[in-house]
């Protein structure tokens, strides 16, 4: 005789397992996407979208957009929006969406329509009620409340909301300069520091420029070095320009830490991490002159003045590759940080 309770468990497991598998696969696709592997992520999202997953259809649209499948992206966005995804709805609202003044819809021929504005906001409101911090941020950005138009009071309210946004992973709220001023900057710094210590490269990058603007060079350097330790591409790129500049300006650290070679090393490490090796131009980091006899440029370190040969540049690039070996890029892409959210404008 079949055990009735066992049969019930098997039936429930059979019903739930496909949904768990899809969720895990979607999460895996987003992880791969954040490593900059757009084509590979696209192939993960595609079958999920074909089986009616509205969230997968949204991310499929984004990966199609990033891999030049722009017409296909419009169709995928429509499928996602019709399936109930508010982020796709907002994208297809185009310039009808508050705070979006230049949309991709205008020149890519996507099926954009004003009808999606209210539906997107309703979708975000539902998600926000369920504790979705990204939706909370989306409402603050695209559907401002009356109090957001009152100077000083709004800064106070933003500071009050900080803990709630942080706990619910609405991290873009802290990236976005529009919500912060000298009146509530301490609260922003408090949470950005927590995020940076948890491995958020964008938070480290943001802290660097906040502290630099506040004339606190040592705090700025400490912030970006936190990101460097985690091999975060945003921090490495900032180190190649901002960090080296700051150390030179305030005469901080050893001479070796301020050289053009060090700056070029950080840029090369970031490029290697993102699979863009060769994008860092030596002419952007070194003094140079064209030598007609050899038919190419000669490079000189801006700090030491020493000649840097092509062989030395290759050794720097090799060390940079070793430095990030075993690490993966983390682009910090989510529904609030991709280009779709603000039209042509990127968040950071």
- Give dist(CA 11, CA 6) in Å, integer: 9
Q: Are 60 and 171 in the same domain?
A: no
Per residue in 157-177, pLDDT (tens digit) is: 999 999 999 999 999 999 999
Q: Are 193 and 308 in the same domain?
A: yes
What number of other Cβ atoms are within 10 A of residue 26's Cβ? 18
C-beta of residue 55 within 8 angstroms of C-beta of residue 85: yes
Q: Are 165 and 283 in the same domain?
A: yes
What number of other Cβ atoms are within 10 A of residue 256's Cβ? 10
The confidence score (pLDDT) of residue 227 equals 93
> Could you tell me if residue 3 is inside a domain?
no
Q: Are 168 and 292 in the same domain?
A: yes
The confidence score (pLDDT) of residue 20 equals 39
Per residue in 191-213, pLDDT (tens digit) is: 999 999 999 999 999 999 999 99
Looking at the predicted structure, is the pLDDT value of residue 236 above 60?
Answer: yes
Q: How confident is the model at residue 23 (pLDDT cuts 50, 70, 90)?
A: low
The confidence score (pLDDT) of residue 345 equals 58
The confidence score (pLDDT) of residue 294 equals 78
What domain range is 187 assigned to?
A: 159-323
Looking at the predicted structure, is the pLDDT value of residue 276 above 90?
Answer: no
Per residue in 115-157, pLDDT (tens digit) is: 999 999 999 999 999 999 999 999 999 999 999 999 999 999 9
Single out the residue in 32, 58, 78 at which a domain terminates. 78
Q: How confident is the model at residue 21 (pLDDT cuts 50, 70, 90)?
A: low
Q: How confident is the model at residue 1 (pLDDT cuts 50, 70, 90)?
A: very low
C-beta of residue 308 within 8 angstroms of C-beta of residue 300: yes
CATH for 72: 1.25.40
Q: SS3 of 84, please?
A: coil
For residue 137 the two structure tokens come to 């941020």
Single out the residue in 37, 57, 78 at which a domain terminates. 78
- Identify which of 43, 44, 104, 37 has the alpha carbon closest to the alpha carbon of residue 77: 104
Provide the residue count of the chain: 348
Q: How confident is the model at residue 6 (pLDDT cuts 50, 70, 90)?
A: very low
As for how many domains the chain has, the answer is 2
The confidence score (pLDDT) of residue 105 equals 85
> Could you tell me if residue 231 is inside a domain?
yes
The confidence score (pLDDT) of residue 18 equals 47
> Could you tell me if residue 247 is inside a domain?
yes
The confidence score (pLDDT) of residue 22 equals 58
Q: What average pLDDT does the chain have?
A: 91
């Amino acid at each position: 005789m079949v055990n009735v309770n066992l049969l019930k468990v098997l039936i429930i497991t059979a019903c739930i397992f496909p949904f768990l598998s899809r969720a895990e696969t979607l999460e895996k696709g987003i992880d791969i996407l954040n490593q900059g592997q757009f084509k590979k992520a696209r192939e993960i999202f595609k079958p999920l979208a074909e089986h009616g997953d509205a969230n997968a259809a949204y991310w499929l649209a984004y990966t199609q957009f990033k891999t030049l499948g722009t017409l296909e992206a419009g169709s995928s966005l429509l499928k996602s929006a019709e399936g109930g995804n508010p982020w796709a709805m907002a994208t297809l609202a185009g310039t009808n969406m508050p705070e979006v003044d230049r949309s991709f819809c205008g020149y890519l021929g996507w099926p954009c329509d004003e009808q999606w504005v209210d539906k997107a906001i309703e979708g975000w409101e539902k998600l926000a009620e369920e504790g979705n911090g990204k939706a909370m941020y989306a409402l603050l950005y695209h559907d401002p409340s009356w109090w957001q138009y009152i100077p000083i009071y709004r800064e106070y309210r933003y500071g009050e909301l900080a803990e709630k946004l942080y706990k619910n992973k609405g991290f873009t709220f802290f990236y976005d300069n529009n919500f912060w001023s000298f009146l509530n900057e301490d609260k922003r710094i408090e949470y950005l520091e927590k995020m940076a210590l948890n491995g958020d490269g964008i938070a480290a990058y943001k802290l660097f420029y906040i502290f630099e603007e506040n004339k606190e060079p040592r705090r700025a350097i400490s912030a970006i070095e936190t990101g460097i330790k985690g091999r975060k591409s945003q921090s490495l790129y900032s180190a190649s320009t901002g960090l080296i500049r700051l150390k030179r300006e305030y005469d901080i650290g050893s001479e070796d830490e301020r050289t053009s070679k060090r700056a070029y090393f950080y840029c090369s490490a970031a490029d290697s991490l993102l699979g863009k090796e060769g994008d860092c131009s030596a002419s952007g980091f070194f003094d140079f002159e064209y030598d007609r006899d050899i038919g190419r440029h000669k490079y000189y370190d801006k700090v030491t003045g020493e000649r840097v040969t092509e062989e030395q540049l290759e050794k720097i690039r090799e060390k940079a590759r070793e430095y990030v070996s075993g690490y993966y890029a983390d682009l910090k892409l989510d529904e609030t940080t991709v280009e779709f959210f603000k039209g042509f404008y990127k968040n950071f």
